[in-house]
């Protein structure tokens, strides 16, 4: 029954990716092998002796010769290892099944994750079956009751799985081992700064302050209900899409049709109220909307995908949808927006996830951002104390996030928003690990789902000086 926890197809795909054969040349295979070695992948993760042997042969050959195995070399190794004619024939037949598999580069990380997870499930299943057999023997009276050895066996299995996860997670390096490489990157950043700018935020001072949304970062927008969090997230998504980024917008609270119409309002500048209540549109507006949206569709090759996710969905659900999309289209997302976080559910049930679900979910999202090397933006409410302080005219801080203090701790960037009674939305970076966070006032055009940065109103030069630490001089541009 433990064969349920196996994927022969993906085991073969993984092995195919590590062999210099067909579309996978030496360099591609070497990159894949190094990734597998760095993640401490084990022959034990494979469900047959042959595939485990093949994996071990591939990695040991690379360690010895810094090259990937070719098919000819594998055939030679099969002859030396299996010796008997029938065994050699069987091994070559299994190798052909490996080589027949189609493999796409973007599949490697998901396959590694799945095979490791299946291995852990098999270990749990085997240990559980063993313990149950012993418990059955105890119940039937064929064994004396010895609970402690059973407990130790379970603890050992759990410890083994935890150690496997720790090996995957921990990276240790001497800070001075690769000075020349680090200096080379610093020089390259100096000479080619645009290479290192992340996803455009659509707000110039915010992009400069953060250097754009960076892969692996978790960004959280907090605010009171009705202050415009969803519109801010939509604008971040649109700004990224407009500069050519593939965007995934996960809508949990709002139906997909409503979200799509908000997007159309933002892109056409036609009031959302009219698009929602289409009988209010003039014939000219109807023609304009149709022509504008078709032109956008025809001119853009990058994707803006809206995922209508169910309430209580998990990060693992979103990740599966991302992987399926990448497999079917060959496109990778450069920005993921999730609205909101508090309607999600932790990946795994535990005491911690019951006490602080939003905190655990935020760490799930953080790991997703790191795993895919993509910025993830989410939204959350502020708590009662934050609401009181806001009404009293005081600044919001990271402890004002509703439901969880850990959301602020896990976020790389936390932004607070608040709307006034006139036309302005106040945006504050209340947490940013690598620099100063400006306070900005954005012109609120919520009728067309838009926010705009106003240079004059914001005293732009002063804000830029605050961000960069460089004064804007009238005659000289010198640091002070």
Residue 343 CB neighbours (<10 A):
15
> Helices 26-38 and 108-139, interaxial angle, to 10°?
40
For residues 366 and 374, give the distance between their C-alpha atoms in angstroms, rounded to a whole number: 10
For residues 80 and 61, give the distance between their C-alpha atoms in angstroms, rounded to a whole number: 15
Q: Among 381, 401, 462, 411, which residue's Cα sits nearest to residue 210?
A: 411
- pLDDT value at residue 168: 42
- pLDDT value at residue 122: 84
Q: Which tens digit of pLDDT belongs to each residue from 257-289? A: 999 999 999 999 999 999 999 999 999 999 999
Please tell me the number of Cα atoms within 13 Å of 153 on its side-chain side. 16
- pLDDT value at residue 4: 65
Q: Which tens digit of pLDDT belongs to each residue from 122-153? A: 887 777 777 777 766 665 555 555 666 666 66
Structural domains in the chain? 2-169 (1.10.860.10), 199-468 (3.40.50.300)
Q: Which tens digit of pLDDT belongs to each residue from 22-70? A: 888 888 999 899 889 878 788 889 988 899 999 999 998 988 888 899 9
Kindly state the DSSP code that residue 408 receives in the 8-state scheme.
H
**Residues contacting residue 150 through CB under 8 Å, at least 6 positions apart:** 131, 134, 135
For residues 9 and 303, give the distance between their C-alpha atoms in angstroms, rounded to a whole number: 29
- pLDDT value at residue 390: 66
Angle at CA 438, nearest 5°, toward 398 and 451?
Answer: 95
What pLDDT tens digit does each residue of the chain (480 aa) get?
445 688 899 999 999 999 999 888 888 999 899 889 878 788 889 988 899 999 999 998 988 888 899 999 999 999 999 888 898 998 999 999 999 998 888 889 899 988 988 888 888 777 777 777 776 666 555 555 566 666 666 666 666 555 544 444 444 567 776 677 778 888 888 888 887 889 999 999 999 888 899 999 999 999 988 889 999 999 999 999 999 999 999 999 899 999 999 999 999 999 999 999 999 999 999 999 999 999 999 998 999 999 999 888 999 999 999 988 988 898 999 999 999 999 999 998 888 888 889 999 999 999 999 989 999 999 999 877 766 776 666 677 677 777 777 888 889 999 999 887 778 999 999 888 765 577 899 999 999 999 999 888 888 888 887 777 654 444 444 443
* Pairing label, strands 376-381, 218-223: parallel
Q: 259: which 2 tokens? A: 């979200």
Phi-psi domain of 283 (left: phi exceeds 0; alpha: psi -120 through 50; beta: other): alpha
Q: 435: which 2 tokens? A: 């620099």
Tell me the three-class secondary structure of 93-134, residue by residue.
HHHHHHHCCCCCHHHHHHHHHHHHHHHHHHHHHHHHHHHHHH
Alpha-carbon separation of residue 445 from 87, 135, 206, 275, 425 (angstroms): 73, 67, 19, 15, 10
Yes or no: say if 199 and 245 are a contact pair by the CB < 8 Å rule: yes
Yes or no: say if 221 and 378 are a contact pair by the CB < 8 Å rule: yes
Q: What is the CA radius of gyration of the chain?
A: 27
């Amino acid at each position: 029954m433990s064969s349920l926890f196996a994927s022969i197809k993906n085991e073969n795909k993984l092995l195919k990716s590590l062999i210099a054969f067909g579309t996978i040349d030496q360099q591609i295979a070497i990159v894949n092998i190094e990734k597998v070695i760095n993640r401490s992948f084990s022959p034990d993760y494979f469900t047959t002796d042959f595939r485990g042997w093949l994996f071990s042969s591939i990695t040991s050959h690379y360690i010895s010769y810094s090259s990937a195995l070719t098919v000819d070399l594998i055939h030679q190794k099969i002859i030396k290892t299996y010796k008997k004619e029938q065994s050699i024939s069987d091994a070559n037949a299994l190798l052909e099944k490996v080589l027949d598999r189609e493999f796409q580069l973007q599949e490697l990380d998901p396959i590694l994750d799945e095979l490791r997870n299946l291995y852990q499930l098999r270990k749990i299943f085997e240990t559980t079956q063993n313990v149950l057999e012993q418990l059955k023997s105890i119940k039937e009276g064929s064994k004396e009751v010895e609970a402690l050895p059973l407990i130790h066996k379970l603890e050992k299995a759990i410890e083994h799985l935890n150690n496997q996860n720790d090996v995957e997670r921990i990276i240790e390096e001497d800070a001075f081992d690769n000075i020349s490489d680090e200096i080379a990157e610093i020089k390259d950043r100096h000479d080619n700064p645009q290479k290192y700018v992340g996803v455009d935020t659509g707000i110039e001072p915010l992009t400069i302050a953060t250097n754009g949304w960076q892969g692996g970062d978790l960004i959280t927008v907090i605010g009171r209900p009705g202050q415009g969090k969803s519109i801010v997230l939509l604008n971040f998504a649109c700004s990224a899409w407009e500069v050519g980024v593939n965007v995934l917008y996960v809508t949990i609270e709002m139906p997909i049709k409503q979200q799509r119409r908000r997007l159309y309002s933002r892109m056409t500048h036609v009031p959302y109220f009219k698009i929602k209540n289409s009988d209010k549109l003039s014939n000219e507006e109807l023609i304009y909307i149709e022509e504008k949206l078709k032109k956008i569709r025809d001119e853009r090759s990058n994707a803006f995908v809206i995922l209508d996710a169910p309430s209580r969905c998990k990060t693992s659900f979103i990740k599966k949808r991302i992987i399926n999309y990448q497999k079917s289209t060959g496109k990778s997302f450069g920005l993921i927006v999730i609205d909101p976080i508090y309607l999600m559910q932790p990946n795994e049930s535990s005491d911690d996830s019951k006490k602080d679900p939003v905190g655990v979910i935020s760490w799930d999202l953080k790991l997703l951002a790191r795993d895919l090397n993509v910025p993830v933006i989410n939204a959350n409410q502020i708590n009662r104390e934050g609401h009181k302080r806001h009404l009293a005219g005081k600044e919001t801080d990271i402890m004002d996030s509703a439901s969880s203090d850990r959301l602020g701790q896990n976020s790389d960037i936390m932004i607070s928003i608040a709307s006034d009674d006139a036309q302005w939305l106040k945006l504050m970076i209340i947490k940013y690990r690598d620099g100063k966070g400006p306070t900005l006032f954005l012109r609120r055009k919520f009728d067309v789902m838009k926010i705009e940065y106003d240079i004059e109103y914001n005293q732009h030069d002063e804000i830029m000086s605050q961000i960069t630490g460089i004064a804007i001089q009238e005659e000289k541009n010198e640091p002070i």
